[in-house]
């Protein structure tokens, strides 16, 4: 059963009216006038009946486990092509001042070993020390929980390839700090990092446990820099329905999904040496002013996205998966899809064919300093050339109609090495 | 499949060693010495094999819907006896300066109608206005999602029964602001409220959508005061396994579960007039210093809780559900369960039989100002006499061994009226 609107809700309103509360009071006349939500519930509703249930989304199997080690050469780490799980904890780290190349190597080896355990639904060492005393190795809060399709994806920031670790010769040509971009309103406390962990699972306690225990392993070698908790996936994988962002719109309809697109636009090629089979991760924390958005006309919201709100079809017509037609005009001669709409600016047709793999999650941080709902999108994206993201975001940031409602407050970029073979660890090729 | 430890993990560590990283480096000697997590992964692990899977916890059915309206007299609102769902968004509100009794009445009627819709998996009015323009009534992000066992529970704070609304004569004798309690470190921004909403669901986007749209309905009548997002249930309902808090311990083994205990300790009786069948909600936001906790000896952690960490059995012996024996001594003559342990101080045997219904959720707020993991427990509890909670917390706050690791930073108390019958709304009896 999925959510539908209801033409005649048994909503108590009518009875309340009969009992002496005037309909005018209930529906906002007088007392509630100007509240922004006038008609409240029941009564005059929209006309759409939401489409039928997608049974695959209706049950979640928490016993699934995703293998960590590569079973072929040049496989990406789990958590990139993995069908998006329902939750994500994202965290970046700074390598400590005293860290040397060997510290980084040890950390990557230990993290890899621990992630293999975690993805298999095991603890990271003992919960109760065998000696009977001492601290546990694993903090224990995921005991009894299934693997919940956990994946942990490890990234290496530009700082790893500075002079201090002797790894400058391994710096991928495409990896550099992102340049300033239009619409950036970056908070320094939410940018950068030498390392990143993206833990995704269908149970948030499993994802949080993973990050917590990996952060413990890093103590002394790396310190936590920033973190975001994603509470609902906002992009779809193969056979998944397209989920909605907190603007209420389907997001990710045209995401990279085929092997050919992945190989062309996401996977680092053999020309990239030790990164062959890897990719690059760009993380952006995007605040969304949802209270302001909610007061906007839905017609305007649809113009901004270029799609209808309920079924996600492009404004040029058809259904959600119909290819948008950016040329089609309305009777007045205007483009049905505004040229500054989000889908027009982001479309590969309008960007030299460029596609990026998006794997975003919704987040909320509770309330902001104004007492408004503080929420947005943890925009995680993968590409074999971060400059492709930069060029896309330059266009979006410069003229996207959406910019009135969003702000990019966090940002970082990482090289994501390929998945290690059993017996190896992430980034081992760096230390050969 | 549930989480187990692994005696011989294929963890990469051994191979890394063979490839030239010394075991000493990997296991923390030298570089990693003093990191707090020495043995890392693999190798010397604890001895416990975690018990078999509880299949009931392994799949989550998001198509379930919980009815909102009472089907009998004196039923509690949903979300109190409902088997705990996996997520919770909790929010309190202040009634606006200009609000009058009628504003409150209208808000409760509109909220009730909206909650009935939401729990049925429906939108709150239109996503796209029928007129073709204007703002939507429902923000849309839960379209296509199942009801996910959503419940929304509404509470009325002490301020509702002050002079301003003419409702002082209805104030329940047991409802008053909580007194100062030992171990309080309250943040004024996280205390109180005239109204509370507890939205619980098996999908966090469904819970968040409910709170967001109910907060929209309240605009002009009430403003948001504080909010907490619980990302994992921390107490069990009937037939649920006992979940773990972020200290890694099972929490809620001895929770109220029988009808007799509910009637005696939780349900407001007919002597409480319009509140008959209702109950009182106490919300505490409890910070847990998990990084300090993680460094503590597990033996000490177990002493603090009075239970073993892995299987949750009381230190007096037996299995998780064995009744703790607070009298049993070890060979040295000391109580096996420390008298200042959490279960000893909280036990009904040691508190004149008093029981409270606990319905807590884990939360995390990311990082605190020291860069440490900021996490804890959203402790939601129900009782027919808030003074029972006060007396319990006085004892716990004064001498609980746990106090070294926790701080109560948020607090509020609310009267929770019984569930309304179809055609009525929450709190209608107040306005008769």
Residue B228 lies in a domain: yes
Residue B227 lies in a domain: yes
Type and span of the H or E element at B91: strand B87-95
- Chain A contact for B238 (CB, 8 A cutoff): no
Structural domain of B175 = 87-126+135-430
Strands B406-416 and B279-288: antiparallel
Give the residue-averaged pLDDT of B46-75.
Answer: 69
Percentage of chain B lying above the pLDDT 90 cut: 78
- Phi, psi (deg, nearest 5) at residue B113: -60, -40
Binary contact (A310, B128; C-beta < 8 A): yes
More confident residue, B272 or A224: A224
Binary contact (B1, A63; C-beta < 8 A): yes
- Chain B contact for A240 (CB, 8 A cutoff): no
Residues of chain A neighbouring B307 (CB-CB closer than 8 A)? none
How many CB atoms within 10 Å of residue B145? 25
Alpha carbon distance A192, A219 (integer Å): 19
**Overall domain count for chain B:** 1
- Chain A contact for B57 (CB, 8 A cutoff): yes
- Contacts from B325-330 at CB under 8 Å and sequence distance 24+? B326/B350
Task: State pLDDT tens for residues B384-414.
Answer: 999 999 999 999 998 889 999 999 999 999 9
DSSP character string of A234-294: -S--TTPPP-B-TTS-B--TT---SHHHIIIIIS--GGGGGGTT-EEEEEEEEEE-HHHHH
Question: A97 is written with which tokens?
Answer: 């001042």
Binary contact (A40, B125; C-beta < 8 A): yes
Residues in a beta bridge with A314: A307
pLDDT at A241 exceeding the cut of 90: no
Q: Which of the four pLDDT bands, split at 50, 70 and 90, describes residue B57?
A: low
Mean pLDDT of all residues belonging to chain A: 87
Binary contact (B12, A112; C-beta < 8 A): yes
Question: A427 is written with which tokens?
Answer: 């980034």
What pLDDT score was predicted for residue A44?
27
Contacts of B403 (CB under 8 A, 6+ apart): B183, B396, B397
Task: Name the least confident of A6-20, A337-351, B52-66.
Answer: A6-20
What pLDDT score was predicted for residue B134?
92
Task: State pLDDT tens for residues A29-41.
Answer: 333 322 222 233 3
Question: B410 is written with which tokens?
Answer: 């948020």
Q: Which of the four pLDDT bands, split at 50, 70 and 90, describes residue A23?
A: very low
Residues of chain B neighbouring A97 (CB-CB closer than 8 A)? none
Contact in structure between A104 and A165 (CB atoms under 8 Å): yes
Binary contact (A139, B58; C-beta < 8 A): no
A-chain residue closest to B101, CA distance: A31
Residues of chain A neighbouring B141 (CB-CB closer than 8 A)? 244-248, 362
Alpha carbon distance B357, B350 (integer Å): 17
- Phi, psi (deg, nearest 5) at residue B112: -60, -45
More confident residue, A223 or B60: A223
Alpha carbon distance B83, B99 (integer Å): 35
- Chain B contact for A97 (CB, 8 A cutoff): no
Q: Which of the four pLDDT bands, split at 50, 70 and 90, describes residue B32?
A: very low
Contact in structure between A354 and A392 (CB atoms under 8 Å): yes
- Phi, psi (deg, nearest 5) at residue B87: -140, 160
Alpha carbon distance A65, B168 (integer Å): 57
Residues of chain A neighbouring B247 (CB-CB closer than 8 A)? 140-141
Closest Cα to residue A85, out of A55, A113, A112, A65?
A65
Alpha carbon distance B365, B400 (integer Å): 25
Question: A203 is written with which tokens?
Answer: 């149970």
Could you tell me how many CB contacts below 8 A there are between chain A and chain B?
485
| Minimum distance, in Å, between the CA of residue A273 and any CA atom of chain B | 20
Task: State pLDDT tens for residues B105-146.
Answer: 999 999 999 999 999 999 999 999 988 789 999 999 999 899
Cα dihedral B404, B410, B414, B419, rounded to 10, equals -90
What pLDDT score was predicted for residue B190?
97
> Among partner residues B106, B231, B290, which is closest to A204 by beta-carbon distance?
B231
Residues in a beta bridge with A30: none
Cα of B24 vs its chain's centroid, Å: 43
What pLDDT score was predicted for residue A352?
95
Stated pTM of the model: 0.89
Residues of chain B neighbouring A127 (CB-CB closer than 8 A)? 5, 46, 48, 248, 298, 309-310
> Among partner residues A10, A40, A63, which is closest to B58 by beta-carbon distance?
A63
- Chain B contact for A245 (CB, 8 A cutoff): yes
Instruction: Give the best residue of B44, B62, B137 to mutate against chain A (max A CB count within 10 A).
Output: B137
Among A14-28, A53-67, B102-116, top mean pLDDT goes to B102-116
Residue A9 lies in a domain: no
Residue B330 lies in a domain: yes
Cα of A78 vs its chain's centroid, Å: 15
The CA distances from residue B233 to A199, B85, B202, B230, in Å, are 20, 7, 10, 7
Alpha carbon distance A341, A201 (integer Å): 32
Does ipTM top 0.95? no
- Chain B contact for A309 (CB, 8 A cutoff): yes
Residue B236 lies in a domain: yes
Residues of chain A neighbouring B53 (CB-CB closer than 8 A)? 63, 146
- Chain B contact for A26 (CB, 8 A cutoff): yes
Residues of chain B neighbouring A49 (CB-CB closer than 8 A)? none
pLDDT at B1 exceeding the cut of 80: no
Binary contact (A13, B109; C-beta < 8 A): yes
- Chain A contact for B203 (CB, 8 A cutoff): yes
- Chain A contact for B113 (CB, 8 A cutoff): yes
- Chain A contact for B140 (CB, 8 A cutoff): yes
Binary contact (A423, B123; C-beta < 8 A): no
SS3 category, A380: strand
- Chain A contact for B125 (CB, 8 A cutoff): yes
Contacts of A195 (CB under 8 A, 6+ apart): A92, A93, A95, A107, A154, A155, A156, A157, A160, A218, A222, A414
Closest Cα to residue A89, out of A271, A242, A221, A211?
A211
The CA distances from residue B142 to A38, A248, A249, B121, B361, in Å, are 20, 7, 10, 9, 22
Task: State pLDDT tens for residues A382-397.
Answer: 999 999 999 999 999 9
Binary contact (B3, A122; C-beta < 8 A): yes
Contacts of A144 (CB under 8 A, 6+ apart): B2, B3, B50, B51, B54, B57, B241, B243, B244
- Chain A contact for B2 (CB, 8 A cutoff): yes
Binary contact (B366, A114; C-beta < 8 A): no
Residue B107 lies in a domain: yes
pLDDT at B37 exceeding the cut of 50: no
Give the residue-averaged pLDDT of B233-253.
Answer: 83
A-chain residue closest to B106, CA distance: A26
| Sign for the pseudo-dihedral over CA of A387, A388, A391, A397 | negative
Strands A195-201 and A151-156: antiparallel
What pLDDT score was predicted for residue A305?
96
What pLDDT score was predicted for residue B41?
31
Q: How many helices (H) and strands (E) does chain B have?
A: 9, 11
Strands B59-61 and A59-61: antiparallel
What pLDDT score was predicted for residue A133?
84
The helix-helix angle for B204-218 and B101-119 (nearest 10°) equals 150
The helix-helix angle for A101-119 and A204-218 (nearest 10°) equals 150
| Minimum distance, in Å, between the CA of residue A188 and any CA atom of chain B | 14
What pLDDT score was predicted for residue A332?
94
Residue B41 lies in a domain: no
Cα of A364 vs its chain's centroid, Å: 13
Residue B347 lies in a domain: yes
Residues in a beta bridge with B88: B200, B230
Residues of chain A neighbouring B71 (CB-CB closer than 8 A)? none
- Chain B contact for A274 (CB, 8 A cutoff): no
- Phi, psi (deg, nearest 5) at residue A287: -70, 140
Alpha carbon distance A134, B300 (integer Å): 9
């Amino acid at each position: 059963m999925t959510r539908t609107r209801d033409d005649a809700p048994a909503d108590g309103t009518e009875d309340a009216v009969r009992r002496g509360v005037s309909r005018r009071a209930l529906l906002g006349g007088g007392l509630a006038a100007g509240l922004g939500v006038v008609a409240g519930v029941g009564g005059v509703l929209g006309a759409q009946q939401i489409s039928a249930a997608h049974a695959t989304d209706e049950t979640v199997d928490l016993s699934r486990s995703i293998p960590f080690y590569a079973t072929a050469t040049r496989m990406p780490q789990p958590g990139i092509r993995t069908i998006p799980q329902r939750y994500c904890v994202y965290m970046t780290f700074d390598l400590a001042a005293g860290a040397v190349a060997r510290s980084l190597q040890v950390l990557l080896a230990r993290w890899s070993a621990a992630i293999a355990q975690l993805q298999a639904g095991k603890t990271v060492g003992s919960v109760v020390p065998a000696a009977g005393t001492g601290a546990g190795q694993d903090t224990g809060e995921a005991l009894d929980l299934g693997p919940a399709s956990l994946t942990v994806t490890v990234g290496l920031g530009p700082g790893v390839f500075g002079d201090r670790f002797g790894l400058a010769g391994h710096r991928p040509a495409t990896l550099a700090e992102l340049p300033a971009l239009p619409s950036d309103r970056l908070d320094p406390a939410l940018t950068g990092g030498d390392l990143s962990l993206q833990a995704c699972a269908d149970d948030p306690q499993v994802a949080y446990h993973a990050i917590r225990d990996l952060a413990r392993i890093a103590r002394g070698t790396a310190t936590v820099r920033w973190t975001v908790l994603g509470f609902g996936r906002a992009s779809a994988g193969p056979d998944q329905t397209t989920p909605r962002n907190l603007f209420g719109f389907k997001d990710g309809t045209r995401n990279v999904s085929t092997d050919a697109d992945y190989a062309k636009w996401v996977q680092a090629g053999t020309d990239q040496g030790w990164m062959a089979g890897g990719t690059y991760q760009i993380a952006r924390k995007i605040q969304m002013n949802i209270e302001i958005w909610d007061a906007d006309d839905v017609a305007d919201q649809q113009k901004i996205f270029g799609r209808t709100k309920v079924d996600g079809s492009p404004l040029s017509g058809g259904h959600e998966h119909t290819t948008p037609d950016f040329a089609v005009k309305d009777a007045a001669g205007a483009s049905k899809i505004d040229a500054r709409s989000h889908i027009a600016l982001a479309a590969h047709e309008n960007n030299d064919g460029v596609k990026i793999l998006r794997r975003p999650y919704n987040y909320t941080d509770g309330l902001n300093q104004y007492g408004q709902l503080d929420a947005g999108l943890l925009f995680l994206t993968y590409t074999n050339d971060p400059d492709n993201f930069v060029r896309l975001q330059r266009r979006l940031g410069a003229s996207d109609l959406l910019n009135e409602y969003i702000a990019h407050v966090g940002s970082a970029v990482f090289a994501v090495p390929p998945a290690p073979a059993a017996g190896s660890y992430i980034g081992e090729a760096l230390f050969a």
